[in-house]
Amino acid sequence: MSENLSGNMTHQIICAIYEKIKAYDRIMLFRHIRPDGDCVGSTKGMKGIILNTFPEKEVYLIDEQKSDFLSFMGEDDAPVADEMYHDALGIVIDTATTDRISNKKFALCKEIIKIDHHLEREPYGVINWVEEDASSACEMIAKFFVTLKNDVKIDRDSAAHIYTGMVTDSGRFRYDGVSGDTLRYAAALLDQGIDTETLYAHLYLQNFETLKFKSHVYQQMQMTDHGVAYIFISHEMQQAFDLDFESASACVSYMDAIKGCLCWLAFIENTQDHTIRVRLRSRFASINHIAEKYHGGGHACASGATVYSKEEMEALIRDADDHIKAYKESHTGWL
């Protein structure tokens, strides 16, 4: 399945997923490595919908990878014996390819359903519901809920989890993929009585040290001739600001509002595996092909990659600069 599914087709897929859920006594949920708000919110939200609708079913969300930033959404489930996977339905959400599924035991499940909004590369499920135009996987889970609202139930916490992923993956409903439907599905979640003041406090309050780090990023960031902003966050810098890897990686978003800068890159040194994580973001011009050239991939304007040396980092910056130069020369209307 790919982008622009007709409404009728989406309805059929959602009903087919619902029938699968009905048919299984045990359901396991899976998400991608390096958990973010969308994959955590969508899996927790789906778990809530299933348990509210079918309290007699067993539903597990088991994952060793955690995010401190998202700990307010609660713990995952404790590990279970491998045999428990064998007769279970696996639902993998927000994960384009099997190599990015965090809990590798997904492969033990009897059947797998894929629900995702990334570019379709690997339709690994017996059902593959992929909507490349959806602003988040959480939007798809909200759509699942709204489409089946006469059959399924949700509680306030699960609605809040789904809403959280919609907010984080769409940059607070600002990014390109946000449609009228996005807001209609978000409205259906808000109708459940979500405490948005507390939610936004969890998501957006910053501590004093983070703001100090932010000011350091603004001091240190560089700009290429044609408007690619970039920063390298060394291991020493991470230590100096007492940052874990994910908090250091968040710096990419600090550079997202520079006039004339259509692409911004964060390089974060990872001394554990001797790599440099690359986070690529852009406005107007797509950059996922650059991520793909450097061992990564992702969305048109938000991708991830890995480089293995400073030389490779510099080559990526040059590629991005060439690309933005060409884009600016052949387009008008960018800012």
Q: Which residues bind ligand AMP (CB under 6 A)?
A: 279, 296-299, 302-304
CA nearest 253: which of 319, 169, 334? 169
Rounded Cα gap, residues 105 and 124, in angstroms: 14
Structure tokens at 32: 């991608």
**Minimum separation from the CB atom of position 250 to ligand AMP (A):** 10
Check if the beta carbon of residue 156 is closer than 8 Å to that of residue 26. no
**Minimum separation from the CB atom of position 292 to ligand AMP (A):** 8
Nearer to ligand AMP, 50 or 137 (CB): 137
Q: What letter represents residue 232's amino acid? A: F
Nearer to ligand AMP, 18 or 165 (CB): 165
Nearer to ligand AMP, 237 or 287 (CB): 287
**Minimum separation from the CB atom of position 87 to ligand AMP (A):** 30
**Minimum separation from the CB atom of position 296 to ligand AMP (A):** 4
Nearer to ligand AMP, 142 or 302 (CB): 302
Q: Residue 328 CB: number of other CB atoms within 10 A?
A: 16
CA nearest 161: which of 132, 195, 113, 134? 195
Query: In angstroms, what CA-CA distances link 17 with 23, 66, 104?
Result: 10, 27, 22
**Minimum separation from the CB atom of position 260 to ligand AMP (A):** 22
Nearer to ligand AMP, 122 or 322 (CB): 122
Nearer to ligand AMP, 227 or 298 (CB): 298
**Minimum separation from the CB atom of position 203 to ligand AMP (A):** 16
Rounded Cα gap, residues 319 and 299, in angstroms: 17
**Minimum separation from the CB atom of position 278 to ligand AMP (A):** 8
DSSP letters spanning 110-162:
SEEEEEE-SPPS---SSEEEE-TT-S-HHHHHHHHHHHTTTT----HHHHHHH
Nearer to ligand AMP, 148 or 268 (CB): 268
Check if the beta carbon of residue 90 is closer than 8 Å to that of residue 111. yes
